[in-house]
Chains A and B, each alone.
Chain A
């Protein structure tokens, strides 16, 4: 079970969190201006790297905040976490 550092609450066990997929996939400012293919890419296409991966977690059973984690998908090592809206 991962030990995930919430930027507000500190390190807590994985069961307190909900996973939110790849980080920094912004909602397009003007969805109507996108082609079907561009919109489908926003909806469905995500990176799946082996190695460091910026992903979102929500401290669902804690402070309820969404934040970002840089985790190695091969070793599960968490390098660091940072608040939503921040850049590492």
Chain B
């Protein structure tokens, strides 16, 4: 109501203008939005979430339950922690907050992330935190101090306490000056420790104007000097604007030079409110009375003390106008409450630390140490300033808490426990009446303590109310669980710069610029960007894919296959190793040859497949599926290191060492002949599943060419060092130009392989499919052991009715079966209709002139020729079960 003429830590030479709910106001540099509003006489700042009751500013820090505002697009902030700035626009939140910003106005502030390591992390720069930081810093340790306030000092900023004979802030200035001289000490203000994780890992948010920094700090030791939060008292009408924590009013007067009212009644069970009342009175606030339920009252004071009495109720409708005490009404516009103090034990609780209820202090106090965390000062229950400074503590009198103040009339409808969630004592009574006894259950039933403030003013109070209602000691009830974050944090800050293209690393091949220039449509395969198809002018995807497929089957087409995983496997035992890893034999594969191999997990389920070349007696080049390369390398390392360390084998990923182009189609031999003039290309000289080293003059020289086909057509894969990848691609297209060579993408590759019944691991399999299920029994050795072999003879894996890979031909060749569609034998039987399988791949085939699909179907190979049905909600699609090889079953196209 009044801005004091002097004092406070505001800069009266720097007035700031701002608006709140459309009305203009002024404040000063150093104000919070809350202090500026109080100085302007704004009493009501919010409407409560359930009952629509008026609410005022209740606290002065992060524990504020009422004053939620939308500030310059930030949807929910506490007015007590928003630093005032010129031009600030704030709006009170009525009811529930809303994310109103459309996507294109998402927070684009560009928040940063910092990583730091230290010997000691001190959380809190109050008297205890500064003392701990000095102690650690003087040993030469690397120390980081984080504090949520704008400057160091903690609650000393909010009181007129003395250290020795001097103002405490002089001590703070001296302490921060000493810390500044220590080169290994770093003090971060405006920085809130949000959460404590394993092994001394603390995440903190630093506010830097509209931008933020997320700190990830690993500390050998964490000192929690997080102070204490004042507790409210629970009485009738305790939510009216004008009811305020006594310490908060003290903070507004001392730190911001604001008196939040004119005439106050103090209602306290704790001596600290007497000091608050004295300082506020000195600043000009009229103290009408101090109501203290303790029979003897508190310390000596000049004010009228109604000892042994309580405030039976606050009166007023829009805001508080008085209180009822001992049958009389005392007029006031401010009720300053203090029900004691709760140590801020959030981070300690997150570390798994135990809290003990201390009867003398009437609060839950951290016990011992936990997870590298040590607690000091008020957070440890040391409430005397001397004790926080490391001197002889001066304990106060034993606490006499009052958890619940009965009103003049029965009922607890306006006895509020959680102001933000609008939870009353009546709600807690209702929860207990259902038979709930645990504080965790009552919390979930009533939602007390679940708001943005995480119950900083309400959680322990709720426990106290339960204790009072049930007659159970506080210590037997315990607290609810503490979980990060300590204060709300925006997703934008957590994401930092890991957004958009920086969210996940993007891998591109050497040919990528060409694909982009050609207008390719890309798809993500693992972290790779792969061309999905290359639409021509006016073409949609279906038309482009049909054109690309036709080129591969009738002429020649080219694909960038650089993304295939490649692992160089070397060592005298490399052949034996691959024999154990693949289901088929590799030890006797001749140098110069390649072989398709299938890998299983120990459970016999297919894990990966690919073609491996033998480069030398002791060297193989393994290829893996694009998305599985890292997992396969980990798998190989696992077996080499943990089961077969005796094998002399080393593996290296060479995926991005070799760029590759597949040249596919009846005319591919002509193209490769032009590309690599020295290469013998007839079938006898360069048979299927062999590879040759040759010279490709257009792409840096040395190249490796393999006769591998994933389409059933005559095909070559040409590999050169990655550096020459783009040159190779352009050389292939130039060599193929006379034959109308067509670039094709992954969709065409999928269609071509599906027409041949070649499965794609991860698309046609899901970790429950064996090689035999896929029809790859020919690739499963009967003579040697391999990973997973024993599993293939388990009773479950040898069942005849396992799901097997088959082809599906829709009766109506225009109908496309969606991938994932469930299949049934008879769609007309009563539900539940037994499922017999599902579609794994589905395409339109240029070669077949119709749609087709691959599916995993129970006992599928015995169903070939029968009809199955896919119920699709609005219609049922019938399809004939077929052999999965739908194109060129005899393999006539392979050799051109």
Contacts and interface: CB of A to CB of B under 8 A. Distances in A.
Given A60-B634, A84-B641, A43 B791 contact: yes
Q: Per DSSP, are chain B's interface residues mostly helix, strand or loop, or mixed?
A: loop
A64 B790 contact: no
A73 to B, nearest CB: 12
B634 A58 contact: yes
Nearest to A42: B602
Given A66-B642, A75-B371, A31 B198 contact: no
Contacts of A75: 352, 371
Interface of A is mostly: mixed
A65 B638 CA distance: 8
Interface string B636-667: 01100111010000000000000000000000
B200 interface: yes
B794 A40 contact: yes
B794 A84 contact: no
Contact of A84 (B198, B634, B645): B645
A66 B791 contact: no
B785 interface: yes
Interface string A1-42: 111000000000110001010000011000110101001101
Interface in B573-628: 602-603
Contacts of A2: 198-199
Interface in B687-720: none
A49 interface: no
A11 B642 CA distance: 21
A88 interface: no
A3 B638 contact: no
Given A3-B198, A26-B643, A75-B352, A32 B794 contact: no
Given A1-B201, A40-B794, A27 B634 contact: no
B218 interface: yes
Contacts of A43: 602-603, 791
B785 A32 contact: yes
A58 B638 contact: yes
A22 to B, nearest CB: 12
Chain B, interface size category, equals: 20 to 34
B197 interface: yes
A66 B639 CA distance: 10
Nearest to B639: A27
B795 interface: yes
A75 B790 CA distance: 38
A66 B641 contact: yes
B199 A84 contact: no
A40 B200 CA distance: 40
A14 B218 CA distance: 12
A66 B637 CA distance: 8
B634 A39 contact: no
A46 interface: no
Contact of B638 (A13, A20, A34, A78): A20
B456 interface: no
B789 interface: yes
A44 B604 CA distance: 12
B198 A56 contact: no
A14 B200 CA distance: 13
A2 B198 CA distance: 5
A53 to B, nearest CB: 15
Contacts of B200: 3
B194 to A, nearest CB: 14
B791 A39 contact: yes
Interface string A63-88: 01110000000011110000011000
Given A40-B794, A66-B638, 12 more contacts: A1-B197, A1-B198, A13-B218, A31-B785, A31-B789, A34-B790, A39-B791, A39-B794, A43-B602, A43-B791, A60-B634, A84-B641
4 shortest interchain CB distances as A-B pairs = A31-B790, A3-B199, A66-B641, A76-B198
Interface of A: 1-3, 13-14, 18, 20, 26-27, 31-32, 34, 36, 39-40, 42-44, 56, 58, 60, 64-66, 75-78, 84-85
14 contacts: A1-B199, A2-B199, A3-B199, A14-B198, A18-B634, A20-B638, A26-B643, A39-B790, A43-B791, A56-B642, A58-B634, A60-B630, A60-B634, A75-B371
